[in-house]
Amino acid sequence: MKPTVGLIGLGLMGKPMGRNLLKAGFPLVVWNRTAARAEDLVSEGAKLGANPRETAAAADVLISIVSDPPALEEVLWGARGAMEGLRRGSIYMDSSTISPDLAQRVAAACGERGVEFLDAPVTGGDWGAKKGELVFMIGGRAEVLERARPVLEVLGKKFFLLGANGAGQTVKLAMNLILALEVEALAEALALATSAGVPGEKLVEVMQSSMARAGVLDVKAPLMLQNEYAASFPLRLMHKDMRLALELARQQGVTLPAAAAAYGTYSAVKDASKDDPDYSAVARFWSKSAG
Ligand SMILES: NC(=O)c1ccc[n+]([C@@H]2O[C@H](COP(=O)([O-])OP(=O)(O)OC[C@H]3O[C@@H](n4cnc5c(N)ncnc54)[C@H](OP(=O)(O)O)[C@@H]3O)[C@@H](O)[C@H]2O)c1
């Protein structure tokens, strides 16, 4: 018999996750702050929990996926909160993106109740949630992951166990930092090009045929992890190009805050390097070997 799954949070991510669990035949109990958002899943066969506590009490495996740390604290420790409903021996997985610190507090509270906890934030967007192809970044114990796997496999396609509780959230935050900075970089570059009279589409078109597009993770990351910076494109030249871009921005009256901050770190590493490294050596800014 399949374990009963409790699901708290039926937003863009939670609702399709619930639908996949129903399709896979798991008994499902759902709760959402705005009750109307639970109606679809209830009509498809889910039971409606009266509150987070009852939802947790009904579950062999409880999953939550709500907006942010205050939302999670509310559903866990607010009135009729889930924490007091969780049963000894059950598993609780939180897939919200929250702080590692809060994940560790949740783990400690679960430990006191004899409940196994995994922080299990996801990537893949609502598209991945609909297809059951999310990627999970997990903090917790391997044997708990193995027990949870039949449920997880309905929701996702890859499960990375990254360390103790909190590690999943740490990696999720670091990953979203890359995405956020990449998109900010794109936004700044588009502002620069368009301010100088070149349509943004042209920049995108050129980037799409450039090796540089895929190069960062595939080419630079392995070298950065090994602190190997033999010049492929020397930092001194990238530094010059950033200076020229910032000069152009100044001429156009455009402010590029992320570029200016990055120029600061490239400058520091350029000044401190005694060799002629690749521009990926900007990573030295954060290593003891800098300078
Ligand atoms: N969307 C994505 O592409 C994506 C991708 C990866 C990870 N995530 C992460 O997954 C989590 C959920 O994202 P989402 O896109 O599903 O967000 P969403 O559509 O905005 O849904 C948020 C959910 O949190 C609930 N909620 C918010 N505040 C609450 C509170 N104080 N008490 C109880 N419930 C509360 C909402 O309830 P109501 O319906 O009552 O508002 C809703 O169920 C977030 O942490 C997000 O960062 C999202």
pLDDT, tens digit, 9 for 90 and up, residues 68-91: 999 999 999 999 999 999 999 999
Location of structure tokens 């991945």: 128
pLDDT at 283 > cutoff 50 = yes
- The pLDDT tens digits of the residues spanning 272-281 come to 999 999 999 9
Is the pLDDT assigned to residue 290 strictly greater than 50? no
Q: pLDDT > 70: what percent of the chain?
A: 97
Q: Is 96 in the pocket of ligand 1 (CB under 6 A)?
A: yes
**8 Å CB contact between 9 and 66:** yes
Ligand 1 in contact with 97 (CB < 6 A)?
yes
Atom of ligand 1 nearest to the CA of 121: 7
Closest residue by Cα to atom 4, ligand 1, is: 125
- Residue located nearest, by CA, to atom 42 of ligand 1: 11
Whole-angstrom Cα distance, residue 140 to residue 161? Answer: 7
Q: Give residue-wise pLDDT tens across range 1-36.
A: 899 999 999 999 999 999 999 999 999 999 999 999
CA distance 154 to 181: 31
Q: How many CB atoms lie within 10 A of CB 183?
A: 10
Q: Is pLDDT above 50 for 289? A: no
Mean pLDDT of 255-277: 96
3-state secondary structure at position 153: helix
Percentage of residues of the chain with pLDDT beyond 90: 92
Say whether pTM exceeds 0.75: yes
Burial class (CB in 10 A: 0-12, 13-18, 19+), 29: buried
Length of the chain: 291
CB 60 within 8 A of CB 91: yes
Q: How far apart are CA 29 and CA 67, in angstroms?
A: 20
Please list, in sequence order, all residues whose beta carbon lies within 8 angstroms of the beta carbon of residue 273, skipping any fewer than 6 positions away.
235, 281, 284
> Given a cut of 90, is residue 67 above it in pLDDT?
yes
The encoded tokens of residue 167 equal 């590690």
pLDDT at site 213: 67
Segment 193-198 mean pLDDT: 96
Residue 288's pLDDT is what? 58
pLDDT digits (tens, 9 = 90+) for 209-227: 887 766 788 889 999 989 9
**Torsion over CA: 22, 24, 26, 30 (sign):** negative
Residues 100-128, mean pLDDT to the nearest whole number: 97
The DSSP output letter for 118 is E
The count of other CB atoms within 10 Å of the CB of residue 261 is 11
Please name each of the domains of the chain with its CATH number.
5-171 (3.40.50.720), 211-286 (1.10.1040.10)
The rounded mean pLDDT for the chain is: 95
Question: What pLDDT was estimated at residue 216?
Answer: 84
- Expressed in angstroms and rounded, the spacing between residue 137 Cα and the centre of ligand 1 is 17
pLDDT for position 257: 96
Per-residue model confidence (pLDDT) at position 218: 86
Q: Is the CB of 11 under 6 A from ligand 1?
A: yes
Instruction: Report whether 151 contacts 123 (CB < 8 A).
Output: no
pLDDT score recorded for residue 40: 97
58 CA distance to ligand 1 middle (Å): 22
